[in-house]
């Protein structure tokens, strides 16, 4: 027996995402049984077992409740997403995020959840694995949704920052912005954007 028997080679085909991940875990248990029944020697077992080890840790995302923004109060929203709950709805509308989003690989997600995934990722340094409990989604889904949202926001709104030659960026406006930011407690008097 050799590497050609590796089930990992099968999985690298068109089986895809969650099925492939579960497939790898499911194939490891029968290998142990084959070894216990002496149908595989030690070398064969170690080769197959190590070759069919998933590269990502298994997060039990299905044990958590689906994401619902109504389960969070303003303080929690501010801590997790850096916006208050009502402001999240306004931000979704301002960024023209559709009610339902379909990612390029077929994942479907509510627009509000998608913007929350993006904001959670940017709120403070975290890994996608840290977000599994909040959104009840596996790491590849969180990564795909986050990337899709970055691309969406950039493609729809990048023109606003590609040039600084805008009327709202006149020196009078910038002074007003800096004064407002300083009045809210910022240490600098000349900070006009965050």
Please count the residues of the chain: 194
pLDDT per residue as tens digits for the range 31-75: 788 878 888 888 888 887 777 776 666 777 878 899 999 999 999
**Nearest-CA neighbor of 3 among 42, 48, 34?**
48
Residue spans of the domains in the chain: they are 3-55, 62-162, 163-194
Q: Which residues contact 119 (CB under 8 A, 6 or more apart)?
A: 80, 81, 82, 83, 88
Least confident piece of the model among 31-35, 68-72, 105-109, 151-155? 31-35
Its pTM stands at 0.66
């Amino acid at each position: 027996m050799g590497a050609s028997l590796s089930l990992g080679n099968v999985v690298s085909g068109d089986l895809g995402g969650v099925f492939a991940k579960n497939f790898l875990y499911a194939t490891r248990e029968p290998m142990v049984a084959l070894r216990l029944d002496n149908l595989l020697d030690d070398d064969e077992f170690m080769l197959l077992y190590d070759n069919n080890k998933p590269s990502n840790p298994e997060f039990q995302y299905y044990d958590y409740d689906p994401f619902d923004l109504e389960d969070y109060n303003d303080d929690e929203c501010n801590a997790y997403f850096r916006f208050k709950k009502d402001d999240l709805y306004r931000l979704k509308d301002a960024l023209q995020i559709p009610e339902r989003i379909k990612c390029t690989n077929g994942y479907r997600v509510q627009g509000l959840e998608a913007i929350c995934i993006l904001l959670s990722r940017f709120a403070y340094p975290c890994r996608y694995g840290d977000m599994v409990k909040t959104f009840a989604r596996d790491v590849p889904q969180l990564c795909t949704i986050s990337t899709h949202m970055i691309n969406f926001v950039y493609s729809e709104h990048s023109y606003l920052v590609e040039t600084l030659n805008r009327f709202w960026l006149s020196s009078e406006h910038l002074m007003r912005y800096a004064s407002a930011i300083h009045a809210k407690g910022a240490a600098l008097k000349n900070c006009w954007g965050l």
